[in-house]
Amino acid sequence: MAMLLPLGKTPNLGFTTSREHPSVRSIPVYAMYLPFLLSSMWAQELFLTDTAAAFQRARQEKKHLFIYFTATWCGPCRFLEREVWPLPQFQALTSRFVRLKVIAQSEEASTPGSEALRLRYGIRGFPSFVLAEPSGRAYYAWSGLSSIEELEKHLKQAEEVQRGAYRRRFDKGDRDTTFLWEYLQTAFNVRDSVQFFKILREYVRVKGSLRRAWEESKSASFIEKMAQAGDPYARYVWQNIDSLRVILRPAFYESVGEALLSNLLDSVWNRYGLPKAKEYCDSLAKAYKPLFPSAPRVGLEFVAWKLIDSQDSLVRREGLLRMLSYLWQVYISQLDTLRDTFDIGMKLVSINNYVSELVDKSPSAEMLWTFAALMREAILRMPDMAFLWETLGDIYKALHEKSAALYAYRTALQKAEAHPVLEYPRLTVTQNSPSPKKRVQQKIQEVEAWRDP
């Protein structure tokens, strides 16, 4: 599929929460070419993929572990594997580690034992990273990564944690706000909740008020991470939600609310299961609308994905119908009201993401024709986007519509060749990478090999 999976609910580039597909309003312009990034062979060579072998080597060589948690559907992970892992700086920075790649929550593609490892280290989204001692004891972890500079910063903080430098400065009375902010993030990354809340109390005290502590955009992004992390961090956000509603800008408050509500719905679903969980989640989404205006939409999408993942064909069908309703409400119905090309482009990327993943769920022919209609609506808005045409071709291929599939695939190639770079106001789309062309050409060959009826 020609997919650009959204980057998750944190505003920083590079974090996709588990099985969540939120808006992509915070994606930098260059992330638009992610539909065409494929996993690099470099990434495979740099990382061990056998968990037992990696832990054994770490013990034998007395090296620490650099564990990279990913998923087959994680768009930001593909970016890292193509653009960051092959860099000489990455290899130099991580040479003292045994590097382990763990594919999780990806059905048959998952690394054996990945679920136990994910739960052991408390991984809630992808990409995520854990630094562990040879024994396997984790001492530092974080989610999301966008650059080699960010990785270097995390590794430096991890060293400081091991040496106890942050704790000594704090215990000696250092209350510089820059230091407190850095230490607060570090304590969060190592999930030292006791120390975290000690630092937080001091940070708020030194800043003078809750508003001054959280009104900056960087602080708002951090609150969003807390909301995603579960208790006790999410509990703090819930306890202060009325104040945060006033402090945060509407867009940040909405994202925080979505993260809190998604965690709440997930806990309800895991506790009750079908059919009660569906009823309870629908009720909760409606009940929280006064607090979070987007709650009904979040609930609709959450329940839809849960139903789609069911093995029961009737339940899966209900989930697909719900998802179609969600796509129409959130994306298609709003396209005609948008004037900014960046906003339109982001909506189209999201539509493409959803449809690409839904086609893989083996829906009925009726559903596939509906998806085709959605993609045609998207193509009308920006007809030169090659990845939209490729996804349309995938739908026709699933329908065994040979001539329609070939037309869409060939058009995708033509658009990529005619418009290697699409320039819009505030939006640049790069579509001249050789990898997608090769992929589409292979699909054309597969369809051409079909026997005519």
Q: Are strands 427-430 and 128-132 parallel, antiparallel or unpaired?
A: unpaired
Does residue 286 belong to any structural domain of this protein? no
The boundaries of the domain holding residue 110 are 37-147
Contact between 326 and 300 under an 8 Å Cβ cutoff? The reply is yes
**Helix, strand or coil for residue 425?**
coil
Segment 229-233 shows an average pLDDT of 85
pLDDT digit string, tens, across residues 56-80 = 999 999 999 999 999 887 878 888 8
Helix axes 365-381, 313-327, angle to 10 degrees: 20
Of residues 218 and 187, more confidently modeled:
187
Q: Which of 62-66, 123-127, 213-217, 359-363 has the highest mean pLDDT?
A: 62-66
Residue 309 lies in a domain: no
Residue (of 266, 274, 278, 204) closest to 236 by Cα position: 204
Look at residue 286 in the predicted model and tell me its pLDDT. Answer: 93
Q: Is residue 265 part of a domain?
A: no
Q: What is the pLDDT of residue 362?
A: 67
Within a domain: 205: no
User: In CATH, what number is assigned to the domain containing residue 102?
Assistant: 3.40.30.10
pLDDT of residue 55: 94
Query: Looking at the domain assignment, is residue 113 inside a domain?
Result: yes
Full DSSP string of 199-256: HHHHHHHHHSSHHHHH-SHHHHHHHHHHHHS-TTHHHHHHHTHHHHHHHS-HHHHHHH
Helix, strand, coil percentages in the chain from 3-state DSSP, rounded to 5: 65, 10, 30
Answer for the pair 32, 427: CB distance below 8 angstroms, yes or no.
yes
Q: For a pLDDT cut of 90, what percent of the chain falls above it? A: 35
Reference 101, options 47, 42, 155, 142; nearest CA is 47
Q: What total number of domains does the chain contain?
A: 1
The pair of structure tokens assigned to 93 is 């920075």
Between 424 and 350, the more confident residue is: 350
Distance CA 220, CA 256 (A): 8
- C-alpha distance from residue 417 to each of 82, 130, 151, 430, 434 (Å): 22, 41, 35, 11, 10
Residue 245 lies inside a defined structural domain of this protein = no
The Cβ-side half-sphere exposure at 85, using a 13 Å CA radius, reads 23
Preceding amide of 434 cis, omega within 30 = no
Assess if residue 399 is contained within a domain. Answer: no
- Burial (CB count <10 Å: 0-12, 13-18, 19+), residue 424: middle
Return the structure tokens found at 100: 């382990």
Residue 237 inside a domain? The answer is: no
Q: What is 357-369 written as a DSSP string?
A: HHHTT---HHHHH
Residue 306 CB contacts under 8 Å (≥ 6 apart), including other chains: 269, 277, 278, 319
Task: Give per-residue pLDDT as tens, 390-418.
Answer: 999 999 999 999 999 999 999 999 988 88
